[in-house]
Amino acid sequence: MKPTDLPTTEPTRDPTPLPTVEPSSNPTNAPTQAPVSTPDESYCGCPQCTQAVWDTLACDDSLGGCHTCGSRISYVESNNGGNADEACKTVSEQFSTGPCGVCNPLLCNNAVLDDPDPTKLIWSDEFNVDGVPDPSKWSFDYGDGCDVGLCGWGNNELQYYTSDNAVVANGVLRISAKKESVGGRDYSSTRMVTRGKQAFRYGRIQFRARTAGCTARGTWPALWALPEEWVYGGWPNSGEIDVMEAVGYEENKFHGSVHTGAYNHGIGTQKTASVIKSELDWHIFEIDWQEDKIMFAVNGEVYFTFAPDDVTNSAKWPFNQDFHLLLNIAVGGMWGAVEGVDAAAFEGDGQYMELDWWNCVVLGNVLVWTEVI
């Protein structure tokens, strides 16, 4: 079985990570004390980023030793053209598990999504039957892309997709990527799709997933969506929604992105954001897709909203069409292999992503709520 309706140009799915500007040299000339302020003052647009946090030391030998959160943010800001928000995000991500982590303007004031109305659930898969994934809901893409003119799936990826690397057991779907020779490639993996079986337009789409087993260098797991019909032309013109992507060389970091004709990394205008969450834990990755915006959330906390100024322009908003879902692990590729591929980590059972449920809930006239664990 081979996909017959793949786009003529495969999406690259390589969101440019948020800037991680680091000092060009150790910040020895950064101010030793934060600017004088009133006790109630906060920074970075975050109520939690108080004066006490601003004055707290954050230590990392690779980043110049010990300096206060405020000193680090001020120093990065002075080296990135004065962009205070980017400086706050950079330092908060560098010290995400320390006090500076509360100074990320992407996260501190974000909306929290209410739980979806269970009476509006129209489609779900809870992976309750052991064995192969439900064939009434899922099909597979096969091969390395060469048969559709996209060797390496348009990204220089190393895997050969089969249906053998997906199994349901004990209520959990496991997708694996392994070091083995298949179809002339050195790695096997799986890409599951709902194309031709279920498509969605607007609503809440949720996956409950865990990537604890998919952290080696060279892994690139993704939960995403592509057009059911490529109404506005090949990628990126008809759009792509990346509900979750991660790469193995980035610890505890997840990305959400959209790609359109006007906004894509090929021309440096991509719309993307990232969030720091433990890769060891289960998370609900979600989009709230409305007629004029898409909100990206993890565990109900919105960290990115895409809301273009003109939703009548398909170059900016092709998301008024039906999209189907994809679950996969790529190996290597232009983003996944930035720091190489740890081939030994793919031996045996390989690297794997787990999904528990997937739901779709109604919005407007369309029901779309998706759960995955």
Query: Which residue type, as a one-letter code, is found at position 372?
Result: V
Residue indicated by tokens 């739980």: 115
* DSSP output for 209-249: EE-TT--STTEEEEEEEEESS-TT-TTTTT-EEEEEE--TT
Q: Is 240 a catalytic residue?
A: yes
Distance CA 186, CA 176 (A): 14
Distance CA 221, CA 170 (A): 22
The enclosing H or E element of 180 equals strand 172-182
Distance CA 59, CA 66 (A): 4
Distance CA 325, CA 272 (A): 19
Q: Judge whether 306 and 271 are in contact, CB under 8 Å.
A: yes
Q: Judge whether 285 and 211 are in contact, CB under 8 Å.
A: no
What CA–CA distances, in Å, run from 75 to 55, 86, 88, 104? 14, 12, 10, 16
Q: Judge whether 355 and 172 are in contact, CB under 8 Å.
A: yes
Bridge partners for 368 per DSSP: 361
Q: Is 245 a catalytic residue?
A: yes
Distance CA 232, CA 230 (A): 6
Q: Please give the backbone phi and psi of residue 30, each rounded to the nearest 5 degrees, phi first.
A: -70, 150
Query: 324: closest CA among 225, 183, 187, 188?
Result: 225
The DSSP letter of residue 332 is B
* DSSP output for 241-307: EEEEE--TTSTTEEEEEEE-SSS-GGGT--EEEEEE--TTS-EEEEEEE-SS-EEEEETTEEEEEE-
Q: Which of 22, 228, 240, 286 is catalytic?
A: 240
> Catalytic residue numbers?
240, 245
